[in-house]
Structure 1
Amino acid sequence: MSRRSKLPALARSLTLLAGVGVPCLAHAADLLPPPPPQAVIPEPVEFAGGWYLRVDGGYGSLDLRKTIAEDVSHPPKPYDYVTLQDKVSNQYFVGGGVGYQVNPWLRIDATGEYRFRTKWKLFAEDRTGGDTGGYNATEGRFDSIVGLVNGYVDLGTWYGVTPFLGAGVGVAHHSFGGVTDKGYGNYDGGYGIGSRNERTNFAWALHAGLGYDVTQNLKFEVAYRYLNMGEATTGVVTCSLECPKTVYRVKDLDSHDVKVGLRYLLGGPVAVAAVDYAPPPPMAPLVRKY
């Protein structure tokens, strides 16, 4: 075979080998195992949802609108008196409660607190019988139990600090005792005592404060609260001299409270390792037969 005829034959041989090699490479690719499936990581599991416990304590600056003296004799006679001093002392309080974090900005809780015994005093000039120059100094002590259902709006978190606003409604129970009445001026020598009395009435509150993330589940709070506790009422006061039986109604007791407290979130994300999870087994390689 001449040199000129060998060149076309060589070209045909190379073309045939190229055509055979392409399906061989494709067949080899079919024999490779498929890529492993992507692992599916389960979502964190919530335990106890958004429930939390709280404890609080603080100090309240108490005030009242006025004290009303009522003659409960039969028949009763309206009093005419000029108030010279009408005040209550301040209160310490402690409490706790349970709540629920509805979403990242809304939470609700129910709280109860004991407000320690405080002193009330009324000093007035009695003018019921005219300008007699008679004065009465009446005083007593009461403590309170307050229960509220509260709602709060969290206003966002910056560097772990969350400002919030809130409001609450509930009841206040006052226990009034140790009431005494002393006469001065033309009433000098008069003395009266009153029985213990219990009264429960409507209460409401407004809140504003700051929460701080101590840990993921523990929050520290400092807050201001305006609390209206309705009125407290003494028992019937009777005196040694000839005088009417009297009940004193301490109207519109309110308190400007400074509170500190802790909230512990019972729920929270559980570590994925604690979830019983096993990845799926690898799939067998696909083999194409010819």
Structure 2
Amino acid sequence: MNRLAVALLASAFLSPMAAKAADIIEPIPVVDAPADYSGWYIRADAGYAFSSETSGSYRYFDAHSGLYGDDFRYSSIEFKDGYSVGGGVGYRWADHFRTDLTADYYNFKVKGSSDCAYSFGYSGCRFNDSSKADLWTVMANAYVDLGYFGAVTPYIGAGVGFANVSYGEMRNEVCAPNCGDANNYVGIHEGLDSWRFAASLMAGASIDLTHSLALDVGYRYTRVSEGEAFAFDAGDRAAGATGVQGRDNGFNLHAIRAGLRYSFY
């Protein structure tokens, strides 16, 4: 049997099998956006923010000389798991492109520690700090919808804006060497607030619940730049210290969010 005959027989035998396989494994169809898929929308979101660790610095004040010491680095500042809520208003400019302006609130507990040998001149000494932080972000965001897979629309996005970080009072315990000792010195530092630059990256998917209402589920990463954290405690202020004692070096927010988006057609 020549090669041509073998090829024809193989083709006749395999074609029905290939057709059946194609019927079994079908790609998810990409559909066109609705004709009226543009215009204004509003959104409301809630989320869970994971713990994030950063570093910081503080100035030392010498009450005897009235001089300030150099900045010293914290070993760590940890923003414990927190929550976020927010909302915004946006506009869809094209089938696959939309923008919005959002405001979001985050709440965290803050833990910090650092070596205080610089301040007190002996080893085995460390600071044990605790506080809380309220954070507001105001962001201008842009999104690209990657396709309409039935009721599901995956997207990616990015945003830029500002963050207001407001620290509560910081309890500063000098552990020498053990924390929790009733004889340890405890200072209370006023928390400071500051506006900083912030930028975000987003990814997720929206699910159409009705023609106008969609469930939005996604991940948001936000980088908040450095800023002021705490003032000097009462003892240092009484000795003449002024201004900012502690700063953070900026931090990252990682949040899983879910919300509703209502479009006006």
Which bracket does the TM-score occupy, shorter chain normalised? Answer: 0.7 to 0.9
Pick from 67, 71, 79 the counterpart of residue 75 of structure 1: 67
Q: Which region of structure 1 is more displaced relative to structure 2, 187-196 or 52-61?
A: 187-196
What is the aligned partner in structure 1 of residue 10 from structure 2? none
What SS is found at the alignment partner of 1:234? strand
Pick from 139, 146, 153 the counterpart of residue 130 of structure 2: 139
- Structure 1 unpaired stretches of 5+: 1-44, 268-290
Q: Does 1:123 align with 2:113?
A: yes
Deviation string, structure 1 residues 34-88 (Cα, Å, up to 9, x no partner): xxxxxxxxxxx97x960001111101113133121223665211255673x5322
CA contact (8 A) 1:64 1:251 kept: no
Pick from 57, 66, 69 the counterpart of residue 55 of structure 2: 66
Aligned pairs for 1:26-175 (under 5 A) are 50-71=39-60, 74-78=66-70, 83=75, 85-116=76-107, 118-128=108-118, 130-175=121-166
What SS is found at the alignment partner of 2:194? strand
CA contact (8 A) 1:80 1:126 kept: no
Q: Does 1:230 align with 2:225?
A: yes
**What's the TM-score, normalizing by structure 2?**
0.75
Give the partner amino acid of 1:265. S
Give the partner amino acid of 1:180. R
Question: Judging changes above 3 Å, is the alpha-carbon distance between structure 1 residues 251 and 225 closer, same or farther for their aligned structure 2 residues?
Answer: same
Structure 2 Cα separation of the partners of residues 82 and 178 of structure 1: 17
Pick the structure with greater CA Rg: 1
Give the partner amino acid of 2:153. T
Pick from 194, 203, 206 the counterpart of residue 201 of structure 2: 206
- Identity among equivalent positions (%) equals 28
Pick from 192, 208, 214 the counterpart of residue 187 of structure 2: 192
Q: Does 1:259 align with 2:257?
A: yes
What SS is found at the alignment partner of 1:158? coil
Once superposed, what is the RMSD of the aligned Cα atoms? Answer: 2.7
CA contact (8 A) 1:82 1:126 kept: no
Give the partner amino acid of 2:225. G
**What's the TM-score, normalizing by structure 1?**
0.68
CA contact (8 A) 1:70 1:248 kept: yes
Between Structure 1 and Structure 2, the one with more strand by share is 2
Larger RCO: 1 or 2 (CA < 8 Å, sep 6+): 1
